[in-house]
Amino acid sequence: MKRYLHGIHVAGHKSTAQMSAVKLPLPDSVVIPMAMHIGAPAKPVVKVGDYVKTGQLIGEPGGFVSAPIYASVSGTVKKIGEMLGSNGRMMQTVEIESDGLDARWEGIQPPKLETMQDFLDAVRASGLVGLGGAGFPTVVKLTVKNLDQIKCVIINGAECEPYITSDTRAMIDYSFDVIAGCRLLQKFLKVPRIVFGIEDNKPECIERYRELVSHEQNMEVMSLKAMYPQGGEKVLIYHVTGEKVPEGKLPLDVGAVVLNCTTISSIARYCRTGLPLVKKCVTVDGSAVKNPMNVLVPIGMRMKDVFEATGGFKEEPKMVLYGGPMMGIAVPDLEQPILKNTNAILAFGEAEATPPEPTACIKCGKCIAHCPLSLMPCEMETAYKKGNIERLMHLKVNLCMECGCCSFICPAHRPLVQTNKLAKAQVMAYKNALKAKAEAEKAKLEAEKQKEAAK
């Protein structure tokens, strides 16, 4: 019997699981950030006053690890400016005033696919990034020099975060695109095995995909235990393949590639239609939301417009999140736009948004027992407070995926995951300082050598 990694059981709150996405009316304007992915921000290729159409390029990739960005509505470029993002950094934005027509750009056409490079070029042109939350440019993940390295592609259908059901709807409502995307991987990347990892609390998805893969070659469905964080990349890889991704290594180093189910369906949709990523299915939920639902909205639509279009709030929200309550990011205001990797926006009232006061650690060890990667959060907290960088590295703080299991299970309500984030930044600063010192010493030695040679 295969051993399962640790985790926690959280209330699902999946009240929208049976709700297909409702297309919301177009907003008066959208604000589209140029940094909606890991890596270099995109560079605007439009100027104020330009008329653009849906699917037209407005931001070109800023490097290899980057992604193009497209207009999500038709209308006039009203402003190219900056705004404070939820990560605390300023980001460049393009604001488009909608003409209400959602007219598609005339240049949209399905890509010609004959070679692997054609396929990779199409994935790059689609603007796709990891749609499960990470935002890593998809083409970078699929650009593999040695295809023999890929032993298994895992389609992540776990969706273990509470409240969020947008991926579930993608699996059910766009199953033909999900399967078509997998066929493209088999054809162009010669993928030998594709596994759909789906939690066992989604029986409709499991049943549907078992029927679908019965007509396919080298595809299978694996029913996974419903637990959090089942959808975490390293956790999912272990439960599907039995392989552990070592510290500092990538999934590919153990023969695995993980793709979110919405991402793979979007690849197929682009290859079928030529329409890049301009709309997102988003779960709108939380205790402060009047009408929880799944909605289809243009990227760049402000949160306030989404909430208003779904019926508003039943109480004043005290916290609004991108994503779920475990790993979601609190936003500074409702002007924040829907991003490429936004799978949910949740609004909570005062009772849910007010954290309990932390008390002293009682050394119960629950944070250790429930950490999926068998880390020691309580020891990391102590090392962080003492500024003991070597101890933090010994405890492998950089392995922490910031899933929040430790904070959730802690009876003393210690902010352990928040401390781990700060500790990782502390380690990074320490390593950067060492690197800078080494480079300075090297430069000094080189200068001395040149001085001696000049004598």
Q: How far apart are CA 222 and CA 446, in angstroms?
A: 58
Give the model's confidence band at 2: pLDDT under 50 very low, under 70 low, under 90 confident, else very high: low
Burial 383-400 (b: 16+ CB within 10 A, else e): bbeeebbebbeebebebb
Q: How far apart are CA 300 and CA 250, in angstroms?
A: 31
The answer to the question of residue 442 being in a domain is: no
Count how many domains the chain has.
2
If asked whether residues 264 and 126 sit together in one domain, one would say yes
Supply the DSSP string of 92-153, one letter for each residue. Answer: EEEEEEE-S--PBPTT--PPP-SSHHHHHHHHHHHT-B-TTTT--BHHHHH--S-GGG--EE
Which domain-ending residue is among 295, 326, 354? 354
Q: How far apart are CA 221 and CA 274, in angstroms?
A: 29
Q: Is the pLDDT of residue 372 over 50?
A: yes
If asked whether residues 241 and 179 sit together in one domain, one would say yes
Residue type, 163: Y
Cis peptide before 229 (omega within 30 of 0): yes
The answer to the question of residue 44 being in a domain is: no
The SS3 assignment for 51 reads: strand
If asked whether residues 377 and 349 sit together in one domain, one would say no
Could you tell me the CATH number of the domain that includes residue 286?
Answer: 3.40.50.11540
Give the model's confidence band at 133: pLDDT under 50 very low, under 70 low, under 90 confident, else very high: low
Question: What are the contacts of 205-214 at 24+ separation with CB within 8 A?
Answer: 205/157, 205/168, 205/171, 205/172, 208/171, 208/172, 208/175, 209/157, 209/171, 209/175, 212/175, 212/179, 213/179
The answer to the question of residue 242 being in a domain is: yes
Average pLDDT over residues 381-395: 96
Q: Is the pLDDT of residue 67 over 90?
A: yes
Which domain-ending residue is among 305, 330, 354? 354
Helix (H) or strand (E) holding 203: helix 203-213
Question: Treating both helix axes as pointing N-terminal to C-terminal, what angle do 175-189 and 166-173 enclose, rounded to 10 degrees?
Answer: 80
Give the model's confidence band at 131: pLDDT under 50 very low, under 70 low, under 90 confident, else very high: confident
Provide the pairing of β-strand 51-52 with 329-330. Answer: unpaired
Tokens matching residue 46:
């439009």
pLDDT per position as a tens digit, 279-291: 999 999 999 999 9
If asked whether residues 145 and 199 sit together in one domain, one would say yes
Q: Which domain holds residue 211?
A: 1-25+112-354
If asked whether residues 333 and 393 sit together in one domain, one would say no
The answer to the question of residue 450 being in a domain is: no
The answer to the question of residue 179 being in a domain is: yes
The answer to the question of residue 327 being in a domain is: yes
Average pLDDT over residues 247-275: 96
Q: Is the pLDDT of residue 3 over 80?
A: no
If asked whether residues 285 and 317 sit together in one domain, one would say yes
If asked whether residues 119 and 200 sit together in one domain, one would say yes
If asked whether residues 140 and 196 sit together in one domain, one would say yes
Q: What is the mean pLDDT of the chain?
A: 95
Half-sphere exposure of 176 (CA within 13 A, CB side): 3
Which domain-ending residue is among 354, 388, 422? 354
Average pLDDT over residues 205-223: 97
pLDDT per position as a tens digit, 249-258: 999 999 999 9
Supply the DSSP string of 213-252, one letter for each residue. Answer: HTTSSSEEEEEE---BTTTSHHHHHHHHH-----TT--GG
If asked whether residues 322 and 411 sit together in one domain, one would say no
Give the model's confidence band at 118: pLDDT under 50 very low, under 70 low, under 90 confident, else very high: very high
If asked whether residues 122 and 219 sit together in one domain, one would say yes
Q: What pLDDT is recorded for position 1?
A: 42
Least confident of 89-93, 123-127, 264-268: 89-93
The answer to the question of residue 338 being in a domain is: yes
If asked whether residues 389 and 311 sit together in one domain, one would say no
If asked whether residues 314 and 166 sit together in one domain, one would say yes
pLDDT per position as a tens digit, 408-429: 999 999 999 999 999 999 999 9
The answer to the question of residue 310 being in a domain is: yes
Average pLDDT over residues 141-159: 96
% of the chain beyond a pLDDT of 70: 99
Tokens matching residue 171:
């699996």
| 378, 361 Cβ separation under 8 angstroms | yes
Tokens matching residue 320:
């609004």
Q: Is the pLDDT of residue 455 over 80?
A: no
Give the model's confidence band at 129: pLDDT under 50 very low, under 70 low, under 90 confident, else very high: very high
% of the chain beyond a pLDDT of 90: 92
Q: In what order do the strands lie in the sheet with 43-44?
A: 43-44, 57-60, 69-70
